Structures are given as structure tokens and as C-alpha cells.
Structure 1
Amino acid sequence: MGHIQLAANSGVLVSFGGRRVLVDGIYGKNRFFSPPLKEVQRAVFGMDSPYRDVDFLLFTHRHTDHFDAAYTDEYARNNRVRGIYVPRAGADPASFLEDRRPLPKAAEQGVLHELSPEKEQALSIPLWDDCAATYVPTRHLDVQTYAAVRHCAVLLSIGRVRLLFAADADWSPENRERFLALGPLTAVFITPLFLLHPDGRRLLEQIMPEQVVLYHLPFQRDDVTGLRAVAEKELARSNPFRLTALMEPGQMLDGIEPWR
């Protein structure tokens, strides 16, 4: 039995068989998205919290609304984490919104893995038993602005369950080719902007996962851009795939068939 729970923004906690993986869950402040949950912050500093001692921390890229180096390093010092996987900082020191800071505490403990996947090749990382994380190099939305950041979608495979966290990936031809090559997917987690674009919708219709999940959304009190309204409009449309959203703190994702 397992479950999938929203922390905040694109931070998602996946729990199964007594193991836990947190994707993009320890990040910094961004005026367009909700700040990290207080429960996550408590865990960072070793205080009692449901987010203490997560086995693996996975990050799709180093933008500050997905990753914070100082908090992640502190988490490594105060928790029994088995591995931290994050793309290596890009070569451009002026890369917009990229947190390029080192993680010396995590490195000293031997749990830090900074990844440099080749442009055209996915990188598969065994976590334990029948669980693996595959880092898929992908183009970021608004590539003109964010070309310097190393961005990866993350495929988390747990037995028959295959969860693709697309993060800020766009719908470009190169991303379409890489996503289609992954094979059958249980759920794909995307931003509403991905689904809003006709090419993004067509790609999802080609992939046809069991479930498409909208995430990377601010909570109601923090929504200064109207992104939630975009998500709600998409949820109201007729879709050939099952469409749901993670929009509220602590919200659980239903309908993952092998885990029901």
C-alpha cells in the first residue's frame, strides 16, 4: 500500500512499503508560489514533523521554487536521509533563479549526488528493491530565459506504478520524443500551462497515462497570477484522460490502481 501527498507547490511526498521519497519539497521563497509548509521547515531543523527522516530527496532542477541548497543541506544534517539527488548547477553564474550554492554537510555525510545527465540520455538510479528514479533531461518552459539551468523530469518507478514528475518541462519536440520513449505511465504531474498549450494537450493524448495531475500551484491565499483559475478551467473541460489536481496542503492523490 502506498500514497501520494502534496506538500506545497510542486513538492510531492510518495510513501510506500515503509519508504518515503520527497520530490521538489524543500525549496525557497518565490512571490508567485506558496512558501514551504511549516511542517517541512520543522523537519529541516530536526523538529518533530511528518516530514522527518524521508529516505530520499529528489529535485528536478535548482530553481528556487523547487530547491533550496541551504535548507536541503540542513535537512541532511538533522535527518536520517539515505540520498539527495539534484542536477549539478549549470555553467552560467548568472543563471536566472538558479540556486548554485554547495551542500557541504550533505557531501560530508556521503548522501549528496549531483547529477550531470547527458543531453540525450536518461539516467536511471536504483533506490531499493523494485524502486528506481530516472532523470530525463528536458527543456524548461520559456527556454530563452532558462536555457542555462539543468532541468530534468523525474520518473519514479515503484513496482508497477510509474510516476512522471514533469516539473517545468515544456511541450517541445525533443521533450515529446523523450516522454513517449518512457512507455506506459501511471500518472504524469504537469503544470496547468503545459495542458493549456495545444501541443502540450496533444502530447498527453499521445502518452495517455492512467491519470494526469495538475500541480505546481499556489494555495488560494497566495495566488497572485490567477494560476488556480487556469487549473479549474482545465478541470472543467472534457478530457480523454482522467484529470485531477493537487491544489491544497496535505491533499492526497486518489486512484493509483495498484495501491488502492
Structure 2
Amino acid sequence: MYGELKAIDVMKCQIYLIGNAGILLEINKKTFLIDGLYSADGKGFQTSPIPEKICQNLLENTGELPSPDYLLFSHPHFDHLSEKLLCSYLTGHRPKAVFLPRQGNSHYEACRRIMKEKQICCKLVSEDTNYKVGKYTEIRYIKTRHLGKTFGEMMHFCIIVNVCQASFLFTADTDFFSEKFKEFPQKHFDGIFVNPLFYHNSEGQEILKNTLSAERFFVYHLPFLEDDRYHLQNMVKKDIRAYGQDKKVTVFASPGQVIEYEIQKGEEKL
């Protein structure tokens, strides 16, 4: 006698590196741009600029990159969010919604004025919030501390994107030394994105091994090789070998880098 047969759901996933911590995520034709409109002109952190061709594709909508439905930003540091570039983008595009971390006196006046004129939904995020943006799609913002004592007042968030049963976590610059990941409402993901310090440090590894789990890990927020004067890419590659995770970890640090794969959920039972 045969038992119940449960269908396997297959979701197509494409992940594009914009640069630094900028990621364009497409799942079943739903598209999210995370920290992907940024600047490399600030001081205090080594940041590669968005490659000229990719920036042109984003702003001019040439069709080489999918047009994002949602723009998501983890915090307002220059290497994650450029208000000038965001305004330029909004002038020529109409995403379904833009999610901005509320921060001090920064109210994103120019960007919000454009969004109001074009009737683009704008969400200013100041606390843990779960946004249902479609029948099977949600965006979750989790307020976390920014790494480093000098950024204690920075409004910073981890971002979770859920589409159907596929789930991705973007940790941005979260202080993995102090944050209580055990209290996260969700702990297993299809993909987790972490910066090189998170992945390198033993505290970060403890979190990835014993608190959070994922089918794949992505190390991002890295300079391109020609800008990598502190050899962070080399450090991460050594870490991957040392931790024995060659098959589960992808380094996102090459201009134009794209990953395409299928996510399968469910199982067949005989």
C-alpha cells in the first residue's frame, strides 16, 4: 500500500551582486534590492563602488537586471544607502515599496517627496516589524545593534525575505558579539548573508553552527579584489577551508557575480 504523495515545490532563485552589501534577490519573479543603492565616497570603511555597467543597468532599466519590486535598506551608512542615488533611481522607476530605517534627523525628504508624487509606498522602520507584501511574500525587519561602539545610536536592522517557503537572512553590520540570535523569530533559512568579520570570528561561527542554520551561507560586504588592500577575500577563503565548509559557503565579491539555483521544498512519500 502506498502512503500519501506530497508534491515537491521548486522555486527558481537568482542572486546578483550589485557591490559591497548590495544584493538583488529574485525568487519566482519577485525581486528585492537590498542595500543596493549605495556610495563608495564616504570615509571610515573600504568600499568598492557599484560597477559602472551595473549602475547603468539599475538606473536606465536596460533589462539586463530584473527590475526590483521592493527596495530594502538595513541602515543609513553611506556604504549601504545613498539618498542621492536613491533619488536618481526613484525618478525613473516605480517600485512597489521602499523600506527605510528611521534615523535621527534624517527624514529622507527629497526621496520621500518623489515617492509621494509618484504614489510609491514608503515605510519608515523604527522597530521590529513584519510586512506582508503579498499572499506568500513577507519582509521582516529585526532591530539589531551595529557592530562597533561608535555606532551605538545607529538605527540598524537585520532583514528577512520570505517568498512562499524560501527564506533569506541579511545580517548587514549586526553586532554578532552582543545580539541574541536565539531570540530571533526564525532560525532556519535557505540562505544567510554575513560580512567577513562575522564569518571570521569564533563568536560568529558559534552562531552559524549552533543558533542559526541555513542550506547555504554567503559572505558579502567585501571589496572587489582590486580594492582589497586588507586582503579580506583571502582571509575569508582561508576561513572557509579552516572551518571545512567549502560546499556550503559562497564568497560574493566579484563584479557582476550571479548565482542561479533551484530551491526545493516538500518531499515525496511512498
The answer to whether TM tops 0.5 is: yes
1:4 maps onto 2:4 in alignment: no
What amino acid maps onto 2:208 in structure 1?
A: L
Q: Decide which moves more: 41-50 or 75-84.
A: 41-50
Take 1:17 and 1:209, find their aligned partners in 2: how far apart are those partners? 20
Larger Rg: 2
2:150 corresponds in structure 1 to: 145
Take 1:232 and 1:101, find their aligned partners in 2: how far apart are those partners? 42
Count of paired positions:
248
1:96 corresponds in structure 2 to: none
- Higher fraction of strand: 2
CA RMSD of aligned residues (A): 2.4
Q: Decide which moves more: 228-237 or 55-64.
A: 228-237
Distance change in 2, residues 1:82/1:116 (3 Å): closer
| Paired residues of 1:2 and 1:15 also in contact (CA < 8 A) | yes
Q: Secondary structure at the match of 2:188?
A: coil
| Paired residues of 1:62 and 1:100 also in contact (CA < 8 A) | no
Deviation at 1:113, TM superposition (A): 2.3
Take 2:239 and 2:63, find their aligned partners in 1: how far apart are those partners? 34
Deviation at 1:80, TM superposition (A): 2.8
Take 1:69 and 1:243, find their aligned partners in 2: how far apart are those partners? 32
2:195 corresponds in structure 1 to: 191
Deviation at 1:166, TM superposition (A): 0.4
Deviations 1:94-148 (A, max 9, x none): xxxxx96641212332325242333xxx211122231111001011111x11112
Percent identity of paired positions between Structure 1 and Structure 2: 25
| Paired residues of 1:194 and 1:200 also in contact (CA < 8 A) | yes
Q: Secondary structure at the match of 1:170?
A: coil
TM-score by length of 2: 0.83
Q: Which has the higher relative contact order, 1 or 2, with Cα contacts under 8 A spaced 6 or more apart?
A: 2
TM-score by length of 1: 0.85
1:64 corresponds in structure 2 to: 78
Q: Secondary structure at the match of 1:27?
A: coil
Distance change in 2, residues 1:63/1:171 (3 Å): same
Take 2:126 and 2:72, find their aligned partners in 1: how far apart are those partners? 14
| Paired residues of 2:101 and 2:124 also in contact (CA < 8 A) | yes
2:235 corresponds in structure 1 to: 230
| Paired residues of 1:235 and 1:244 also in contact (CA < 8 A) | no
Which structure 1 segments of 5+ residues have no match?
94-98
Deviation at 1:43, TM superposition (A): 4.3
Q: Decide which moves more: 30-39 or 189-198.
A: 30-39
1:17 corresponds in structure 2 to: 28
2:165 corresponds in structure 1 to: 160
